[in-house]
Structure 1
């Protein structure tokens, strides 16, 4: 977290949280969602400003309930996730010929386990604690397939990450990823449900 953000939090600790306005899409793009986009259920407009993207990525964290947010100064801006909290790119290092994985911020992502969902998506968890869950960018599926072997049923297999490390491709249902890996895909929907429940209780 940036020092300027820590200072803002110390100065204004009780700024209300924000939900619904920031979205992280399936290809690792950050998107702003105005009221019209939210009402239409649209993804919103991609953020292109390099400095702002860096600021978001440096101050992107999860709370104790698995809700991911961008700490924008004193305000916590909760993020709507199209799929996972991280998207990774697979590439081949020109110097070594080895595969590399990097997250949306360009940081190295060292995989510890690999998964194949029921829609053909590839996911990885890393070696951090707690482990991060990331989906592979769909543009990199061809490169992935060059280093993977699928079982006959197409639901499992293995991925040759390094000469000495083969990752088993474990099957997982896309609808179960959020619960299995402990994150909240839509903090806005969760906040709305909690507000409705509180309103119902007060009306009784």
Structure 2
């Protein structure tokens, strides 16, 4: 986090949190009251000050005020650039440990950073990295089967690793990976 943000938190520790103003869409765009944030400096600030609390609620620390983020899907949105995954905040994603395809055909990647959705614009390049357990590229029919929920024998070659690809129901992702897509105030506030 920015030093100025940390200083403001120390100076004004009891500023109420904000809910319902800030969102993150499936392509990693910040949305402020349903408008895409266009200003590069503001996007960078939001990315640098993005974090998660103990309850799995993601937020941006804006000076002394915590602004909770409504997630359209996962807390991280990933782009595939130069053979590596980059988070929506333009930082490198940690080395991947697992890959999943949801029941809508979206590709998710798990790492120490948490769970991330691969931006749909990069899905074709990622599908080219699907292979069998011997590292051979999958036939189109096998890729189609994986996208439809049958990922048996399917692996993802990524970051020098070969990750087994599992399937998951989209509506179970948040609970399984411990994040709250629609943060709400605590009951005592």
After TM superposition, the structure 1 = structure 2 runs for residues 113-192 of structure 1, keeping only pairs within 5 Å, are 113-126=98-111, 128=112, 131-148=113-130, 149=138, 150=142, 153-154=145-146, 155=149, 156=151, 157-162=154-159, 165-187=161-183, 190-191=184-185
The residue aligned with 1:21 is: 21
The residue aligned with 2:6 is: 6
Q: 1-side partners of 2:144 and 2:56: how far apart?
A: 35
2:78 pairs, out of 67, 83, 88, with 88
Offset at residue 104 of structure 1 (A): 0.7
The residue aligned with 2:133 is: none
What is the RMSD of the two structures over their aligned residues, measured on CA atoms? 1.8
Q: Deviations over 1:83-136 (max 9, x none)?
A: 001100113x3xxxxx2110112111121111110100000111x2xx411000
5+ long unaligned stretches in structure 1:
34-43, 94-98, 199-204
Q: 1-side partners of 2:143 and 2:46: how far apart?
A: 39
The TM-score with structure 1 as length reference comes to 0.80
1:50 pairs, out of 37, 40, 57, with 40
Name the SS for the 2:185 alignment partner: helix
Q: 1:152 to 1:21 in 2, by over 3 A?
A: closer
1:66 pairs, out of 51, 56, 77, with 56
Higher RCO structure (Cα 8 Å, ≥6 apart): 2
The residue aligned with 1:105 is: 89
Offset at residue 191 of structure 1 (A): 3.1
The TM-score with structure 2 as length reference comes to 0.86
When the two structures are aligned, how many residues end up with a matched partner?
A: 173
Offset at residue 159 of structure 1 (A): 0.9
The residue aligned with 1:38 is: none
Offset at residue 141 of structure 1 (A): 1.0
5+ long unaligned stretches in structure 2:
131-137
Question: Whose helix fraction is larger, Structure 1's or Structure 2's?
Answer: 1
Q: 1-side partners of 2:89 and 2:32: how far apart?
A: 17
Rg larger in 1 or in 2?
1
Q: 2-side partners of 1:185 and 1:177: how far apart?
A: 10
Q: 2-side partners of 1:144 and 1:116: how far apart?
A: 12
Q: Which range moves more in the overlay, 148-157 or 55-64? A: 148-157
